[in-house]
């Protein structure tokens, strides 16, 4: 056995395992996320923290609903859409969900064209995604206006349990804020892609290395997270 092989065997034997090994690896100069840029790593960490927040909100909603002694409003009646003399249960919510899920598909296309460095189609798909996101927010504003006109408030609710209003406005408002912020960043990203900032490495915010469209992918991570959270809100809040 050569000296080099002996060194490698000794290093593998002396390597610390278990919790001590984890601490040793993180305290050394090794990168925690190998082959991952710091921008993408920070986005994943942000999304993880946001997952905890939305999870706490949904757990609070379930706890309030199961512990209240007053009847909880029927979602099919509260969120029904009145067209003429006919009520369509959850029609508006179904359209909102369809729009947001569709925007996730257009975001996938934007990331795909970004990988191909197709500047024009990437910008178009980003704009379409932003338009769908803005449409979702607009329908959510309509939903809020409808409930407010029917007397629902954060502190009271004429349809049943008073906790309903506060929880509804908190969860959907927090999610709607995420969508609104995402729409703004999508428009900024589309402008930067359209004028070729990622091809010329033009100085400014959200600019990566020349020819690198990674920022579009990172924006896609955020947008898919927002869409995924809405699936849970839809299931727990509107279908339960």
CA gap 122, 113 in Å, rounded? 5
User: Tell me, what's the pLDDT at 20?
Assistant: 76
Length reported for the chain: 240
User: Tell me, what's the pLDDT at 237?
Assistant: 87
CA gap 47, 97 in Å, rounded? 21
Burial letters 88-98, b for 16+ CB under 10 A, else e: ebbebbeebbe
User: Residue 238, CB half-sphere, CA atoms under 13 Å: how many?
Assistant: 19
Number of H helices, E strands in the chain: 9, 2
Per-residue confidence in pLDDT tens, the chain, 240 aa:
445 444 444 444 455 677 777 666 665 555 555 667 888 889 999 999 999 999 999 999 999 999 988 889 988 889 988 887 788 889 999 999 999 999 999 999 999 999 998 999 999 999 999 999 999 999 999 999 999 999 999 998 898 898 999 999 999 999 999 999 999 999 999 999 998 887 776 666 666 666 578 889 999 999 999 999 999 999 998 988
Of residues 97, 193, 179, 192, the one with CA closest to residue 134: 179
Residue 216 has which token pair? 């579009």
Q: Which domains does the chain have, with CATH numbers?
A: 35-65+75-238 (1.20.120.80)
């Amino acid at each position: 056995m050569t000296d080099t092989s002996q060194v490698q065997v000794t290093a593998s034997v002396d390597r610390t395992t278990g919790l001590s090994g984890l601490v040793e690896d993180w305290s050394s100069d090794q990168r925690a996320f190998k082959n991952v840029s710091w921008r993408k790593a920070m986005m994943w960490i942000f999304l993880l923290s946001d997952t905890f927040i939305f999870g706490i909100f949904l757990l609070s909603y379930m706890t309030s609903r199961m512990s209240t002694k007053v009847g909880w409003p029927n979602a099919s009646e509260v969120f029904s859409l009145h067209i003429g003399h006919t009520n369509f249960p959850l029609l508006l919510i179904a359209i909102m969900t369809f729009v947001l899920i569709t925007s996730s598909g257009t975001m996938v296309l934007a990331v795909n064209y970004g990988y191909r460095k197709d500047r024009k189609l990437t910008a178009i798909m980003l704009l379409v995604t932003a338009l769908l996101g803005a449409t979702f927010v607009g329908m959510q504003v309509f939903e809020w206006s409808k409930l407010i006109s029917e007397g629902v408030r954060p502190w009271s609710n004429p349809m049943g349990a008073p906790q309903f209003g506060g929880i509804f406005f908190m969860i959907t408002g927090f999610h709607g804020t995420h969508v609104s912020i995402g729409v703004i960043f999508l428009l900024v990203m589309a402008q930067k892609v359209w004028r070729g900032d990622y091809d010329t490495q033009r100085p400014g915010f959200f600019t990566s290395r020349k020819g690198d469209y990674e920022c579009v992918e990172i924006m896609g991570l955020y947008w898919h997270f927002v869409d995924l959270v809405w699936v849970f809100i839809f299931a727990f809040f509107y279908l339960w």
